[in-house]
Amino acid sequence: MSSAEPTEAGRTEQTGPAVREPGRAPRPAAPVPSPLPGLAESARLLADATTTSTALVADALARIEATQSTLNAFRHLRAAAALAEAAEADRRLAAGERLPLLGVPVAVKDDTDVAGLPTHFGCDGERPPVASDSEAVRRLRAAGAVVVGKTNSCELGQWPFTEGTAFGATRNPWNTAHTPGGSSGGSAAAVAAGLVPAALGSDGAGSVRIPAAWTHLVGIKPQRGRISVHPHSDAFQGLTVNGPLARTVADAALLLDAVAGAHPEDFHRPPAVRAADAARRDPGRLRIALAWRPPLTLTGAGPDPEVRRAVTALADTLARLGHHVEEARPRYGLIGLAFVPRATVGIAEFAARHPEPALLDPRTRAALRTGTRLGGRVVRAARAREVRQHRRIGALFDASGFDVLLTPTTAAPPPRIGRFDDLSAWRTDVAMAAACPYAWPWNVLGWPGVNVPADFTRSGLPVGAQLLGPSRSEERLIALAAQLEDDRRWFEHRPPV
C-alpha cells in the first residue's frame, strides 16, 4: 500500500517506495544494510558527531526497503519528510543543541496518529491523512526523534498475529515462516531486524509483550496513563496503553521517558517515573512469585514444555542473583468476565468509525455485534469490578509480600504464518486464549509489566517471560530487567535477516 503526504503546494508526495501497492510486482531485493545501532547508542553517536541523522535515517529507510518484501513490517513510510527532518536535526546538532533523541530514527504503530498520514489501524480501505500528531508522537518529536514510518498492526489490534487482507502478513525475522506476534508485530519485527533502533507499540491484551516475547525484545507495558493515548481519552475501555519495544532495557527505558506524560484531556495521570535511571539501579533483593497457572480461559492451556524450560531457567537465574523465587498462585478469579465486555466494546467503538464496514474481517464484525450488545450497563459493571480485582490480585503483593510476579509471556512459541486463517471468531478466540493466556489480566488492572527474552526453542524461535508488578511499579520492574540483562546478555543475539 503506497502512502503519501501533502506537500506545501497541496499535491501529494509518495513517501514509501518500499510499501508497495497490492498487486504490483515486487522489485528485486536490494542488498540489506547493516542493522542500526540501538537507541542510546544512536543518540550518543549523534551527540559525538560520529555519525549524522541523515546517515542513520537513510540507513533505516534503505534497510526497510530491502526487507519489505520478506518482513513486511511497515504500512506507511515518510521517506522524504524523514530525510528533511534528519537534515534539520543535523543542523541543530552542529549548533550544539542536545535533546534525548535528537536525530534518532524511530517508528510508531499504525494505530498512532502521525500528521499527514492516514491511521488505518490494520484495516483495509482508504482513510484521509490526519491533521495532527497524537500526544505520544508530539512528545517523540519534542525529544528530537525522527519518525520514519508506521508499522503494521492486525485489524484494530485484536489478535496476537499481524496478518490481514489490507497488507498481507508481517513475518518474524528469526524465522519468516512464523508470526512476530501482534498486534504490535510490525514494530517488533522492525526493531528485531535492526530496521530502526526502537519503536512504539500498544498493548491492550499483551500486544507489546507478546511480540516482544516472540522476537527476542524488551517490551514495556507501562501503567495506565503513563504514556498518553490522546486523541483517545480511554482507549479500549481503559485496556490499551502505549509502550516501547527495544533490544535492551536501557533503550526501552529511554523511549519510555521520552514519550511519557499526559495530555490535558487525559483521564489517568500517574506520577512521573525516571525509567532510564531505574535501568542503571540495583533492584535490591526481591521476593518473586513464579506462577505457571494462567487465569481461567476454559482452554486448559498451560505452557509448552520449551516455554516452561526457558522460564524455569530464567527463574533459576533470578535465584542465583540473590532473589527469593517461590511458586505461587495469583487469585485471578473470573477476571475474564470483566475483560470480554471491555475488549469487545472497545473493538465496537473503533469498528463503528470505519467508513466501509463491509471491508472489515468477519471476525471484527462479530466482535462489533458482541460489543454492541455488551455496551452500556454491562461494560460499566465490568469496569466497576476493577477496584475489587485490584484488591484480590493485589493481595499477592500486599498480603503475601511479593515484589514481582514472574510468568511466561505466552504459553506457546510463535505460531506459523496462516495458523489463524479461515477460523471463525469463536475458534480464533479459543486458539488465541490457548497460545496467549498470561498477558491480558494486567490490562484489566492497568498495572505495568515488562517482557524479557527468556531463551529460544530448539528450532530457534524466541520465547519470553513477564515481570509483572503492582500499580506504578515500572521502576522496580525495569531495574530487575536490567539486572537480568547484564547477566544473560540477550542483546548479543540477532536474527539472521
Residues designated as active site: 109, 183, 207
DSSP string, 151-178: E---GGG-SSS-EETTTEE--BTTBTTB
Regarding beta strands 287-290 and 404-408, do their DSSP bridges make them parallel or antiparallel, or are they unpaired?
parallel
Residue 340's alpha-carbon distances to 181, 182, 204, 299, 334, in angstroms, are 21, 18, 12, 15, 11
Q: Cβ atoms within 10 A of the Cβ of 266, count?
A: 17
Residues 6+ apart with CB under 8 A from 358: none
**Identity of residue 379:** V
- Is residue 440 within 8 Å of 466, Cβ to Cβ? no
Residues 6+ apart with CB under 8 A from 212: 181, 188, 218, 219, 245, 409, 451, 464
Q: What is the sign, positive or negative, of the torsion defined by CA atoms of 300, 301, 302, 306? A: positive
What cell was used for 89? Answer: 536535526
DSSP string, 85-110: HHHHHHHHHHTT---TTTT-EEEEET
Backbone angles phi, psi at 148, to 5 degrees: -85, -20
